[in-house]
């Protein structure tokens, strides 16, 4: 059985196959109208969502299936203290597949190792958002005709921006991509995102949105996310760091593609919506098509075997307050050495305090 917790749970061949299926769904929707007849999707959303939850639900209905679920933690027994593991075991009795969003990093992973049905990560804290990446990949493919040889500007909150983390992981597997990471110094991409992709991709970091504006094939804007900040003053100081306006687009390529996972607050002026390069509403449509393709793919691979978790070393505590280990009952804290030699928590990917001394970190 396959679950998708990280975009790397899908091979390049699977990503290419999902894109092919999504394009076919767009052209022949009637051929797919009964593909999931008799199947149920459970949407377990412990954090707000418009696009992800509703596009998952629309996707399942358009495949002929049904949907159960909840849209906020307060309407589930999580509000009474039920664990993610128990929730996953119970929902496995009622549904065929789960899409879960949770504010704690690693929560969908905990669900996957406890469920007897496939689990899809619909966004976990500031960590991963693999199905947004599927929407992004299809949009890039439809607009540019390729997923390699691109210069991609990623702008905004790159520290907590889970969509950016998953997109870098996915596009790093295609040849010749260059990433220009545009953020305030306080919101730079975490090391684990860059280091685990190896030497396949090039990275440039800058605080200046305009420095490479004439080079971008893709401009991926993101929101500075108020809900991820513990320091309100820091949020107020950083929230308007980058605002894309029509005048800033003057030096940009005529065929550049402007993406944003949405919701936007003010980081793209509404006037930019009329520019032919603005693709963020197409991206939302593409999200539904890719989620249809993914649901079919995962239901087709349910061999009854449980999702196999990562193995690693126990005995050390994860100190990240946003990690699922901070709230889940009796969850063993496990750490694993990455390609860069650094031990990280298997749930949230934060470096492991106590395991990364000079002597044992490499
Ligand atoms: N892009 C995205 O995840 O949007 P929602 O938060 O509305 O689901």
Residue 55 alpha carbon, nearest atom of ligand 1: 8
What does the pLDDT read at residue 57? 98
Lowest mean pLDDT, pick from 28-37, 240-249, 255-264, 306-315: 306-315
Q: For the chain, what percent of residues have pLDDT higher than 90? A: 82
| DSSP 8-state class, residue 346 | T
**Alpha carbon of 22 to ligand 1 centroid (Å):** 19
- List residues with catalytic annotation: 51-52, 80, 101, 129
19 pLDDT band, cuts 50/70/90, is: very high
| Tens digit of each residue's pLDDT (9 = 90 or more) over 91-143 | 999 999 999 999 999 999 999 999 999 999 999 999 999 999 999 999 999 99
What does the pLDDT read at residue 225? 85
CA-proximal residue: ligand 1, atom 4 (nearest): 51
**Alpha carbon of 261 to ligand 1 centroid (Å):** 7
What does the pLDDT read at residue 301? 80
H or E stretch at 144: helix 130-144
| Tens digit of each residue's pLDDT (9 = 90 or more) over 179-218 | 999 999 999 998 888 876 767 789 999 999 999 999 999 9
Inter-residue contact 190 to 129 (CB < 8 Å): no
Residue 287 alpha carbon, nearest atom of ligand 1: 1
**Alpha carbon of 304 to ligand 1 centroid (Å):** 30
361 pLDDT band, cuts 50/70/90, is: very low
CA distance readout (Å), 121 to 6, 43, 177, 266, 267: 7, 10, 25, 27, 26
For the cut 70, the answer to whether the pLDDT of residue 58 exceeds it is: yes
For the cut 90, the answer to whether the pLDDT of residue 362 exceeds it is: no
Ligand 1 neighbours, Cβ below 6 Å, are: 49-52, 123, 132, 261-263
Which residues contact residue 162 at a Cβ distance below 8 angstroms, ignoring those fewer than 6 apart?
123, 124, 125, 126, 127, 128, 129, 132
Cα 247 to its chain centre, rounded Å, is 30
pTM: 0.94
CA-proximal residue: ligand 1, atom 3 (nearest): 52
**Alpha carbon of 144 to ligand 1 centroid (Å):** 23
């Amino acid at each position: 059985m396959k679950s998708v917790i990280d975009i790397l749970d899908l091979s390049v061949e699977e990503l290419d196959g999902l894109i092919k299926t999504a394009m076919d769904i767009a052209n022949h929707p009637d051929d797919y109208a009964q593909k999931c007849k008799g199947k149920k999707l459970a949407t377990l959303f412990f954090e707000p969502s418009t696009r992800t939850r509703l596009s998952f639900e629309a996707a399942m209905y358009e495949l002929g299936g049904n949907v159960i679920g909840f849209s906020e933690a307060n309407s589930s027994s999580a509000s009474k203290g039920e664990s993610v593991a128990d929730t996953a075991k119970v929902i496995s009795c009622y549904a065929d597949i789960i899409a879960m969003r949770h504010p704690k990093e690693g929560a969908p992973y905990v669900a996957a190792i406890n469920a007897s049905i496939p689990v899809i990560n619909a966004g976990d804290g500031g960590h991963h958002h693999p199905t947004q990446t599927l929407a992004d990949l299809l949009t890039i493919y439809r607009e540019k005709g390729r997923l390699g040889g691109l210069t991609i500007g990623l702008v905004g909150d790159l520290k907590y921006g889970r969509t950016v983390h998953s997109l870098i992981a996915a596009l790093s597997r295609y040849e010749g991509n260059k990433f220009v990471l545009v953020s305030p110094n306080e919101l730079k991409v975490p090391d684990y995102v860059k280091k685990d992709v190896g030497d396949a991709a090039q990275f440039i970091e800058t605080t200046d949105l305009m420095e490479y504006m004439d080079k971008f094939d893709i401009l991926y804007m993101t929101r500075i996310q108020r809900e991820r900040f513990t320091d309100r003053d820091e949020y107020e100081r950083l929230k308007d760091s980058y605002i894309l306006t029509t005048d800033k687009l003057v030096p940009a390529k005529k065929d550049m593609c402007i993406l944003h996972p949405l919701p936007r607050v003010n980081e793209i002026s509404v006037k930019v919506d009329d520019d032919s390069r603005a693709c963020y509403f197409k991206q939302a449509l593409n999200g539904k098509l890719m989620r249809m393709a993914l649901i079919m793919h995962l239901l087709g691979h349910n061999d009854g075997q449980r999702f196999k978790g990562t193995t690693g070393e126990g005995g050390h505590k994860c100190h990240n307050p946003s990690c699922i280990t901070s709230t889940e009952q009796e969850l063993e804290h496990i750490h694993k050495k990455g390609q860069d030699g650094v031990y990280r928590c298997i749930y949230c990917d934060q470096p492991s305090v106590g395991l990364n001394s000079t002597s044992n970190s490499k």
